[in-house]
Amino acid sequence: MQGSPGWRTTVQGGQPVLMKLATTAKRAGRRFASSLPALFGVLIFTFLLMRVLPGDPAVFFASGPNAGKEEIETIRKQMGLDKPVPQQLALYLYDVGRGNLGRSLMTGQNVTKDLRERLPASLELTFSALLIALVSAIPLGILAALRPGSAIDHGVRLFCALGVCIPTFVSGLLLIYVFYYLFGVAPDPTGRVDIFISQPPSRTGFLLIDFLLAGDLDGWWAAFKQLILPACTMALFVIAPLARITRASMLASLGSDFVRTARSVGLSWWRIVVTYALRNAILPVITIAGIVFSTMLGANVLVEKVFSWPGVASYALDALLSSDYAPVQGFVLLMAFVFVIVNLVVDVLYGIADPRISIG
Amino acid sequence: MRLMHSKQMLGAAAVLALLVAAGPVRAQTRAETLRYVTGASVNTLDPNIPGSTREAFAVSLSTYDRLVSFGRKQLNGKWVFDLDSIRGELAESYDVSPDGLKITFHLRKDAKFQDGTPVTADDVKWSLDRAVTAKILGKAQLLTGSLTDASQFKVIDPAVFEVTLPKPDKLALPNLATVYPIIINSKLAKAHVTEEDPWAQAWLKENTAGSGAYIIETFKPGEQVILKRNDVWNRGLGGKQAFFKRLIVQSVPEAATRANLVEKGDVDIVIDLQASDAQSLEAKGKLQVISTPQYNAITFVSMNNQMPPFDKADVRRAIAYALPYDDMFKAALFGRGAPLTGATWADGKPPSGAFPIPQPVKLDLDKAKAYLKAAGYPDGFSTTFSFNVGQAATAEPMAALLKESLAKIGIKVDIQKLPDAQMSTQITEKKLPFFTEGVVAWLPSTDYFYRNFYTGDQRWNYSSINNPELTAIAQEARFEADKVKYEADGKLLNAIHFDQMPQIPLWQPSQDAVMASSIEGYTYQFHRQVDYRDLSRK
């Protein structure tokens, strides 16, 4: 029975929990430290890239009526663009080191503040979308794997194909049209909560949590309703990779020896599928979910635009279009950071799903 | 994997089902609130900050007062701002001295800032000093009205304020009604002055210190601004306070969503829909659609007059006769606006000294070919036509038609779509040969248009035209007090324009204000935004 989950459970149970936690933390710390050079590289690369791109931000922002050379110079000075590039880079690194990402000309605010206000909106949306995607993709994948080649399998394949090939702004607008415009069951698709509802005191930045903390259930419901359409739009787009990977790895694990053995000992169907086959098949799903999450966070710009969601991705796009350097640099750095964290979490989850991986 | 238990799955399904079944919940009565959505966003509370958006102008117009404001008049049955009628806002009245060199303002005695302190001539002095001294947008604007130096502003007594001009300038007074010369609570602002920021720009960007009709409640740059009424403000038309108790200005980037929102009645007014949406909403007849041709705006096809082959007037004339104006107007704007082509000038001379006026050009390929031959390009040439991504909705169909038509006279056109910042940069550096752009003049007088858009080497001289005669007449017309002579100057300028054809004025797009049928009082304003103070609900 070596390699089967049953064997693993006993060893796991025998290992002192504290020691296991300490090892995991140490590993996570080492992992994080080893990704710092990569973050630094991203920082420098984005900085240089922004300066190579055509388009002069000073000219753009001085585009009001009657703006002349003097205005352009003022803005250039304000942005520090009058200095040579190496000096700009040094100043930028110094500022970032002190946690200051610069000032956005577009919103007029500090980039750190902008990102801090907008990241929870994006995270809340992405987490919800990922949750919806996982909750629908995993059962779909399992169903497809249990009856490969059947009508269900083809149905799942068709659904996945539709989800992937319809761009998010189309499905978003379509959902708005049907649920808001035609049937009027969804709230108006602007922002995170009905504009007539007062916002809860911001503790975590996640509205669903903040409303609960404030004990405002009506508010929570309003925020929840507002979240559903954009989250579904994003989920539709990522169901396909998750369902396909679930199906593939379930197929492999259903055809393996231990499942055949489990069947032969006469274990219940449910137990075979969930405890034995799925637990073994879940690793690649975790990996893909991690990747999907990081890409979603940056790639949901269209969803954020369609639903006027005040997230980081739409913020970065606006900044890019107007050559507003500081927010774009800040955003890329943030995304790199999130990517590192997500990878870390995936590693830790791996260790939990399969303790053999954390050895060494 | 604990999530996969069937109970949780059922729970999730139940929540989803509930959601679909639940009807919309109306949070509170909305009759007293005006909700306005826009594609752009408010990025500063002080309109003077470089980079401030038009939406920011609209918000500052309702939070700050100016000394004076424009009256309104009817143009083809629609209310538009009136450049020639200036009424008091913070000033109860004003007199202009007979020689036109002194303007004296008598301030309202009952006017108070939002913190309760009275508005005095000292505040006016500080605010206007700031407008011409600090490195802010107001400086360049006020210059066009000969307001350049703090020494021109004088406090006579707490309620009387005087402006001195070096020359009589008919744009001095209108300039004080534009968005920049806001009157700031100087005591409050001075409390936030620092050594490197003597005019409190950083503080005023995020805070208001005004006496206007509305008070900022929350301000989230890029998302929304919520304002509440200043009940003591009484400077609306007829000495009334603003109608709406609350005002929501919200950014909704997607044009289709803005159209849905206003159609469903969740939003009261929107002005930046796509032409096709405005048209279909108008056809449905449920909403009010007020389309006003933007009579102070022009959309051009511009040619770089310093760059071959467009440095030859005959090439520019050839282009002017080779564009399918009617098709372009229909494809780009769905016919919403006022065309500036297809006129007949009786004896070939401009019928008026106003600008812009419709040009006597229309699609005539034979004439175009003849001009091209005269210019020495009988077989045509190749060039690039550029436009801004931000204007793609109108510029894209227009560019396609232009390309098709110019191909018929042998001119091969490559269409180039540029991101906004890149387009601005290339225009400023005068690197684009052939492109489309739009301009707006807040104070649309003939000399103002010509001085700003046809002279000098600044960005706004899109065609880079350098015509000494035109420049001289435009400068002279600025201070011309005699109306007959001014009209004659205008005709001369228009004649030079048509002869040289530095760029081709195409049309004035419509401003389509789409609003609930209960909204009244909409006026087309020089800043092309909604003046919230004008509106009321039936």
Residues of B in contact with A315 (CB under 8 A): 222
How far, in Å, CA of B413 to CA of B51, rounded? 33
Size of interface A-B (CB pairs under 8 A): 182
Closest CA to B290 of B31, B33, B534: B534
What mean pLDDT do residues B510-527 have?
Answer: 91
Amino acid at B241: Q
Task: Output the pLDDT for position B9.
Answer: 46
What mean pLDDT do residues B488-504 have?
Answer: 93
Q: Is B411 exposed, middle or buried (0-12, 13-18, 19+ CB in 10 A)?
A: buried
B382 touches chain A (CB under 8 A): no
3-state helix, strand, coil in chain B (%, to 5): 35, 25, 45
Residues of chain B numbered 473-512 and touching chain A (CB < 8 Å): none
Mean pLDDT of chain B: 88
Residues of A in contact with B224 (CB under 8 A): 191, 195
Interface touch A108/B43, C-beta < 8 Å: yes
B148 touches chain A (CB under 8 A): no
Separation in Å, CA of B391 to nearest CA in chain A: 13
Residues of A in contact with B421 (CB under 8 A): 55-57, 59-60, 321-323
**Tokens found for residue B39:** 């594609």
**Chosen from A78, A196, A271, A318 to mutate, greatest number of chain B CBs within 10 A:** A196
Cα–Cα distances (Å) from B502 to B41, B318, B338, B387, in that order, read 34, 12, 21, 18
What residue of A is the nearest CA neighbor of B201? A108
pLDDT in tens, A256-265: 888 888 888 8
Separation in Å, CA of B379 to nearest CA in chain A: 34
**Tokens found for residue A13:** 């149970």
Interface touch B428/A56, C-beta < 8 Å: yes
Closest CA to B479 of B145, B103, B104, B142: B145
pTM comes to 0.81
**Tokens found for residue B327:** 């098709």
**Tokens found for residue B92:** 């109860």
Task: Output the pLDDT for position B123.
Answer: 94
Q: Is the pLDDT of residue B238 over 90?
A: no
- Listing DSSP states for A224-249 in one string gives HHHHHHHHHHHHHHHHHHHHHHHHHH
Residues of B in contact with A62 (CB under 8 A): 50-51
Note whether B171 and B443 are within 8 A (CB). yes
Measure the CA angle with vertex A329, ends A325 and A332; round to 5°. 145
What mean pLDDT do residues B143-152 have?
Answer: 90
Residues of A in contact with B3 (CB under 8 A): 134-135
Note whether A47 and A92 are within 8 A (CB). yes
How far, in Å, CA of B186 to CA of A14, rounded? 74
Cα–Cα distances (Å) from A359 to A15, A141, A272, A351, in that order, read 13, 30, 27, 9
DSSP SS3 for B35: strand
pLDDT in tens, A112-131: 988 888 899 999 999 999 99
Beta pairing partners, B384: B414
The DSSP letter of residue B174 is H
Interface touch B459/A108, C-beta < 8 Å: no
The DSSP letter of residue B89 is S
Task: Output the pLDDT for position A348.
Answer: 79
Interface touch A190/B420, C-beta < 8 Å: no
Amino acid at B154: K
Separation in Å, CA of B468 to nearest CA in chain A: 21
Note whether B535 and B31 are within 8 A (CB). no
pLDDT in tens, B463-478: 999 999 999 999 899 8
Separation in Å, CA of A123 to nearest CA in chain B: 17
Separation in Å, CA of A308 to nearest CA in chain B: 5
Task: Output the pLDDT for position A340.
Answer: 85
Task: Output the pLDDT for position B468.
Answer: 92
How far, in Å, CA of A331 to CA of A329, rounded? 5
What residue of B is the nearest CA neighbor of A104? B43
| Segment holding B299, helix H or strand E | strand B297-303
Q: Is the pLDDT of residue A202 over 90?
A: no
**Tokens found for residue A33:** 């430290």
How crowded is residue B220: how many other Cβ atoms within 10 Å of its Cβ? 18
pLDDT in tens, B407-447: 999 999 999 998 877 888 888 888 899 999 988 888 888 98
DSSP SS3 for B204: helix
The DSSP letter of residue B486 is H
Interface touch B425/A63, C-beta < 8 Å: no
Q: Is the pLDDT of residue A14 over 60?
A: no
Interface touch A308/B248, C-beta < 8 Å: no
Q: Is the pLDDT of residue B16 over 70?
A: no
How far, in Å, CA of B446 to CA of A20, rounded? 81
What residue of B is the nearest CA neighbor of A111? B221
Share of chain A above pLDDT 70, in %: 91
CB neighbours of A278 closer than 8 A, spacing ≥ 6? A142, A250, A253, B1, B4
How crowded is residue B415: how many other Cβ atoms within 10 Å of its Cβ? 14
Residues of A in contact with B9 (CB under 8 A): 135, 139
B137 touches chain A (CB under 8 A): yes
B142-148 long-range Cβ contacts below 8 angstroms, 24+ apart: B142/B175, B142/B180, B142/B181, B143/A66, B144/A66, B144/B171, B144/B175, B144/B443, B144/B448, B144/B451, B144/B452, B145/B169, B145/B171, B145/B172, B145/B173, B145/B174, B145/B175, B145/B176, B146/B171, B146/B172, B147/B172, B147/B175, B147/B176
Residues of A in contact with B254 (CB under 8 A): 169, 173, 305-306, 308
Closest CA to B377 of B445, B430, B311, B446: B311
Closest Cβ opposite residue B28 in set A106, A196, A224: A196
Residue with tokens 């594609």: B39
Task: Output the pLDDT for position B268.
Answer: 94
B51-57 long-range Cβ contacts below 8 angstroms, 24+ apart: B51/A61, B51/A62, B51/A64, B51/A75, B51/A105, B51/A106, B51/A108, B52/A64, B52/B137, B54/B527, B54/B528, B54/B529, B55/B249, B55/B251, B55/B529, B57/B179, B57/B527, B57/B529
Interface touch B389/A321, C-beta < 8 Å: yes
* Residue B281 half-sphere exposure toward CB, CA atoms < 13 A: 29
pLDDT in tens, B359-410: 999 999 999 999 999 999 999 999 999 998 888 888 999 999 999 999 999 9
Beta pairing partners, A103: A110
Closest CA to B351 of B476, B471, B449, B487: B487
Interface touch A189/B257, C-beta < 8 Å: yes
**Chosen from B8, B19, B28 to mutate, greatest number of chain A CBs within 10 A:** B19
Closest CA to B289 of B514, B517, B525: B514
Closest Cβ opposite residue A308 in set B30, B252, B440: B252
| One-letter-per-residue 3-state SS of A87-98 | HHHHHHHHHHHC
How far, in Å, CA of B154 to CA of B135, rounded? 21
pLDDT in tens, B99-135: 989 999 999 998 999 999 999 999 999 999 999 998 8
What mean pLDDT do residues B500-526 have?
Answer: 92
**Tokens found for residue B58:** 């609209």
DSSP SS3 for A189: coil
**Chosen from A61, A63, A175, A253 to mutate, greatest number of chain B CBs within 10 A:** A63
Pairing of strands B412-418, B160-164: unpaired
**Tokens found for residue A333:** 């750095």
pLDDT in tens, B253-312: 888 899 999 999 999 999 989 888 998 999 998 999 998 888 889 999 999 999 989 999
Interface touch B222/A321, C-beta < 8 Å: no
**Chosen from A78, A190, A197 to mutate, greatest number of chain B CBs within 10 A:** A190
Q: Is the pLDDT of residue A268 over 90?
A: no
How far, in Å, CA of A322 to CA of A70, rounded? 20
B98 touches chain A (CB under 8 A): no
Interface touch B19/A228, C-beta < 8 Å: yes
DSSP SS3 for B179: coil
**Tokens found for residue A325:** 């350097």
* Residue B54 half-sphere exposure toward CB, CA atoms < 13 A: 15
pLDDT in tens, B29-39: 578 899 999 98
Least confident of A51-55, B207-211, B321-325: A51-55
The DSSP letter of residue A275 is I
Measure the CA angle with vertex B431, ends B430 and B432; round to 5°. 100
Cα–Cα distances (Å) from B91 to A140, B23, B65, B107, in that order, read 71, 51, 10, 4
